[in-house]
Structure 1
């Protein structure tokens, strides 16, 4: 996989790209991570990439020409003649070009799993008041938001999305089952975890986890996941893939909760 981030602040990305799971994945050759300063494609002597909006109003708007030129430059780098160290991608592969903006689709684990199957992703990180609408209409394939709030730029949201995608790549995590059981991957919140010591300040690890009976432990974990989701994110249960046994467990948990409230 190759991931390019178009940004005015590449230094924000490089520190993250070289650290922890992302850094290890890049070192292993699992993913190519690149920060591209689209100011280098401004095409004017002042290196300006924004201008005042037509029709008036506050703030500045990112111009289309530097963004289009930067994307075209990245695409030219990724063909069969890519230089050593660059990811050579078939010209038949069309990258997903993702605009990070508050107006985009709310990002979820399901979208992360979808994007993790792609060979090439290009993220566009904006600043100022917004983007020229022609970038949305004629360049990008996706618009994503990480929540209903506004940040000063798209770099932090893009890095959040990239982290969630890279950790799903085969070989990126030390334990390949970790991503499978994460919260939201199963449609439920994850069950609680414990480690040594078995007792800490009088708080004990549940006896079930010390029993060594793996089948019973899996049943316990599923019930705990259902209970945690019921308590904290009951909205997830509306779309979760639940078995008949899960539904029975949920009914029992709901009845128990009702009794505790009385």
Structure 2
């Protein structure tokens, strides 16, 4: 029996690096294509060079910025995303603690019903949701963009798995010391599930930032609409202004990319801790 030496491992390492580079290029190409499109004119799309090489039409960005009230749309998006994250974290923490730590009759059935929500396609609920929003006068408001997404089924599941992976003796000892449920949740549970909370916050915020269909249907007033709805300004009866749309996509996506790059280390650390919690 022979052991593979450094020479034998070298080709495998080169193959892994090559595959990693190819996967990275596959993910980066759509961003590059959008950037190139934002710097070309509408007529420059006939050859491969026109599709892959920019022609530096910076006026597309000026035209795109003038097409919609972007400062207001950005403010709306940040407000909606922040409020949605706070609600989702609160509901995920409370429900995850109840399903993972507390013992009550029907807990398994109730949790199964919560998980069943993930099986229902969101599009089939748009019409009844629109009727409900009309009846309670929530159309064209922040409420209709925040409250329906203030609970994350994935977040509840993730926090529950974290609590199931914790030693039960922690909560038993706290209960013997006279701590109530909320004290156990605040002092013991919440610090231990912080990695899961970070993952939930990032996922909910990105989902809120990228939401288009729901606010497009539920709102008509630009004073409450998010940035994704503003992108619809480039589609009209005469066709779609693709360079202007691409320019708008660039400056509406840039804040999210910067946000992710700044927090990527925390994101990776939280994801690894979350994986451990789910295995538990």
Answer whether TM exceeds 0.5 for this pair: no
Give the TM-score, by structure 2 length.
0.20
Give the TM-score, by structure 1 length.
0.21
Judging by fraction of residues, say which structure has more strand.
1
Higher relative contact order, structure no. (Cα contacts within 8 Å, ≥ 6 residues apart): 2
